[in-house]
A and B are shown apart, each in its own frame.
Chain A
């Protein structure tokens, strides 16, 4: 697996040695920021607890309201933000790599909408409730959508241009959202259950949610890490990658499954979150360049940083808590607009 990138690294040994050190520095810095944010996230939130109270609840074992707020709500919420953020960041990096499309994002491409539709179907017609019940539906929806988007995106001789792929995703997303809204209108109970989830929120998620999705997310993240060096070859084009010994079809298939698992599990846990998978890889690439061996792991660190920060902004900005999906949309959509305005010069 790792035989391929070595010549590349060796060829430019002079340049990369120094930047490899600075990249490692960025990696360490990112981890430190992430740990600090995660710790901070335990101390911020509704409930108005003092730092001392929170600390006592974390270290002690009291069973009063403080202990419940901190241990049963804030701790799972933080863990969930970490793994879901990492999952969405990695899936964004992967989807951008296999489609060679800088605008790709599971939210923009309709994968989250597909997940949502299946969860709605599950909730409305099969009585699926709770994260454990939703997760399989969400996975199924994510799989169908990502395969569909991918097939359409690679139809024709040259495949879709970045914007064509985005349009396909938007069209599919619109169809799925339309069907979802029809179903939820017919079954008000399902609508009531799902409208909070549909906004994309970490609020009120407890340990059972974490346990339900953690296996999928952790497994997906691990596989994503092993794919990174092969994805570097794919960036050179299918034919070059093939001649370098990469099994392109297999790589794409595995990547799609990983994207599906990561997006589906994330959507099941916190609802559809847009733009996180778009933002994080872009931010990372602007720091370390296009090498996937750095982009993918750093996206797994960068995305939860953004996600945790967005969640905390949502918690303190409005008294009743702003769902994190709304904050990420407000952070990410301007970035999409900026990317398109900037890329115009290159004929996008």
Chain B
């Protein structure tokens, strides 16, 4: 038990190079393991469904050597969903890493601060009141989520964003929006309400290629700047003075991170609805697995991908042939993790 502690404290002396080298190595293996799990689960996910296929069939379909029927099932029906789970998981997890680093708070995730409820309200308004199609839903979700996030930040931003105030204010704002949501649900017909509720639970059931492309593009576009900024972002945890002293433009960095975080969440929420708790849980698990001083970006991203692919697999198979919305699975897993985290913190205190 003592050895790792000694080693870690020994390494803290040679802060810059020794520590970062070691973190890199462990994070690398964790990241690689998560990536392999995510891809493995994704491959397995392609084989199951109404018509079970072998991995060989799937591979043939992916490389274009299968018969038209199999190719159609794999490429047109199953692949979009699996890809959405992969990239959605990456986007949500990275957005969670951004928010948690930004607020210095393990609970500072878009789920908790009301982004998702706001996105739901926006989507419901456009779905039920304006009657817009998927574009209307997407735009409504974007506006609703961003406006709610901004409102919560503004209300909480009085003496910085630290502490629990951000979260409780998020809960309060979410409660009001939740009230609006349930009112909207009872003003419409049953079919519309069920459609809305499926969206609101966060579902990958109806993802097509056309829905998927923006999410993949946004995730890929956001990744390089995030990777470039991540080292600086880690310094935010040292306090504004220290970070500025090391040549970080704190204000600019915060704005850039905020924009990236919001865009990443929105890219998923707008398409698949609010998928709860991936953004909250993935960075925390990655942090524990990598045992570094800050949240590691790429391991978090791959862990998020693995989480969402596996959750979607569970959602598809648990009550088959009925397909649950994936958000129901993530809320139970993530909520359970949150409860466990709170309990273990209390035990330690």
Contacts and interface: CB of A to CB of B under 8 A. Distances in A.
A337 B182 contact: no
Nearest to B107: A167
Interface in B178-232: 178-180, 182-183, 185-187, 190, 193-194, 197-198, 200-201
A170 interface: yes
A333 B347 CA distance: 31
Contacts of A334: 172, 176
Given A178-B331, A182-B325, A329-B179, A337 B173 contact: yes
A198 B178 CA distance: 11
A121 interface: no
A174 B200 CA distance: 13
Interface stretch (A14-22, A57-65, A185-193, A223-231): A185-193
Given A166-B171, A178-B328, A334-B172, A326 B182 contact: yes
Interface in A120-163: 152, 155-160, 163
Interface string B49-74: 00000000000000000000000000
B159 interface: yes
Given A156-B346, A157-B349, A181-B197, A336 B186 contact: no
A174 B331 contact: yes
B169 interface: yes
Nearest to A271: B182
B252 interface: no
Given A185-B194, A185-B325, A337 B332 contact: no
Interface string B318-333: 0100101101100110
A164 interface: yes
Nearest to A167: B342
B276 interface: yes
Contacts of B163: 344, 348
Contacts of B169: 337, 340-341
Interface in A293-332: 320, 322-323, 325-326, 329-330, 332
Q: Most chain-B Cβ atoms within 10 A of its Cβ — which of A172, A192, A195, A274? A: A195
Q: Most chain-B Cβ atoms within 10 A of its Cβ — which of A156, A164, A166, A178? A: A178
A184 B197 contact: yes
B131 interface: no
The SS class assigned to the A binding surface is: helix
A211 interface: no
A49 interface: no
B285 interface: no
Interface in A236-255: none
A174 B276 contact: yes
A111 interface: no
B147 interface: no
A322 to B, nearest CB: 7
B339 interface: yes
B155 interface: yes
B183 A199 contact: yes
A301 to B, nearest CB: 25
Q: Most chain-A Cβ atoms within 10 A of its Cβ — which of B159, B348, B349? A: B349
Contacts of A218: none
Nearest to B169: A337
A108 B171 contact: yes
Contacts of A172: 335, 339
A188 B194 contact: yes
B164 interface: yes
A123 B155 CA distance: 40
B194 A191 contact: yes
A42 to B, nearest CB: 25
15 contacts: A164-B342, A167-B107, A168-B339, A175-B332, A178-B276, A178-B332, A179-B332, A181-B328, A191-B194, A275-B175, A329-B178, A336-B172, A337-B169, A340-B172, A344-B163
Interface of A: 103, 107-108, 152, 155-160, 163-164, 166-168, 170-172, 174-175, 177-179, 181-182, 184-186, 188, 191-192, 195-196, 198-200, 274-275, 320, 322-323, 325-326, 329-330, 332-334, 336-337, 340-341, 344, 348
